[in-house]
């Protein structure tokens, strides 16, 4: 399922960046609200997981598309 370009497009360009943005907003809100340690953890760890996941999905999509065009 994660080898389809359409699925990787949705993950890499839409869902994971959106989740990264939402988690960054939540982390900043938590920091400003007083939960500094939990806010920093959310901001640094969770946001980076979504960001690197999107980067991985975009790179995998590119390699799948280049592999398909090489077969034809």
Residue-wise pLDDT for 41-54, tens only, equals: 999 999 999 999 99
Q: For residue 72, is pLDDT > 60?
A: no
Q: Could you tell me if residue 69 is inside a domain?
A: no
pLDDT band at residue 67 using 50, 70 and 90 as cut-offs: confident
Q: Could you tell me if residue 3 is inside a domain?
A: no
The CA-based angle 58-64-69, given to 5 degrees, is: 125
Q: Could you tell me if residue 2 is inside a domain?
A: no
Q: Could you tell me if residue 56 is inside a domain?
A: yes
> The whole model's pTM is what?
0.84
* Range of the structural domain that residue 30 is part of: 10-64
Cβ pair 20, 51 in contact under 8 A:
yes
When divided into structural domains, the chain yields a total of 1
Q: Could you tell me if residue 47 is inside a domain?
A: yes
């Amino acid at each position: 399922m994660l080898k389809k370009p359409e699925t990787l497009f949705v993950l890499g360009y839409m869902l994971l960046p959106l989740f990264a943005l939402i988690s960054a907003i939540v982390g900043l809100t938590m920091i400003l609200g007083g939960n500094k340690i939990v806010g920093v953890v959310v901001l640094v760890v969770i946001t980076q997981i979504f960001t690197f996941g999107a980067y991985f999905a975009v790179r995998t999509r590119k390699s799948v598309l280049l592999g398909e065009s090489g077969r034809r």
